[in-house]
Structure 1
Amino acid sequence: MNALLWVIAVLLAVAFVAAGVMKIVQPKEKLIETGLGWVEGFSAGNVKLIGALDALAGLGLVLPALFDVAPVLVPLAAVGIVLLMIGAIVVHGRRGETPMVIANLVLLVLAAVVAWGRFGPYAF
């Protein structure tokens, strides 16, 4: 189970760091053009803040455990992703973007599994 938690955490980390960096470096207009229509409802600063939260949560899933520095941050980062996904589900749900809601639910469940495992029976 420990190996499975690592695999899930690394996959989530890659996805969230990539998504976060994209939101930080791309201008809002470019994000809209690439299919992230939800950014229309947010200021450019808020989009960058969401991107920073995504990237930091992704890094928090692996770096603390990898370097054995405050590994309790791993399940906390997973909880942060759960909270981010709840917000994303609300935004996409209001916009009627059902496929995105489903994707956010999958990410939420994966992050919840990491949080459960790292807070519980498979803590570092």
Structure 2
Amino acid sequence: MIAVLEKNYSAPALTLPSYLLSQYITKVQVFSSHRPQAFKILKYLVAIGVIRSLNGLINLYSLNHGTSDTYNWNQEIAIVTSGSDGIGRRVAILLAARGVKVAVLDIQPLKY
């Protein structure tokens, strides 16, 4: 319940129409003049919602300029340290299975 309220209390789709109605419709203007504290809270909620929406858009754009990163595994080269045994060995095998050219650097000889 709290998560739903947290996402929606400042959603511009809900607060912005309320704010605009309170500014431009005469009957609602009378209500907002009788409840200045509620109107002030509504203005803050609109501002918070717009800022959060803009922040989300900026974050989406900044993640590699909005493009998803795709790999052509056959053209990739990977260097795996400690790749002769354990987790490094597993990583090297998984990368090689995808067609990556793998170079293993380790002080131990390869066990595969």
TM superposition score normalised by structure 2? 0.31
Structure number with higher relative contact order (C-alpha < 8 Å, ≥ 6 residues apart): 1
Higher helix share: 1
Higher strand share: 2
TM superposition score normalised by structure 1? 0.29
Larger radius of gyration: 2
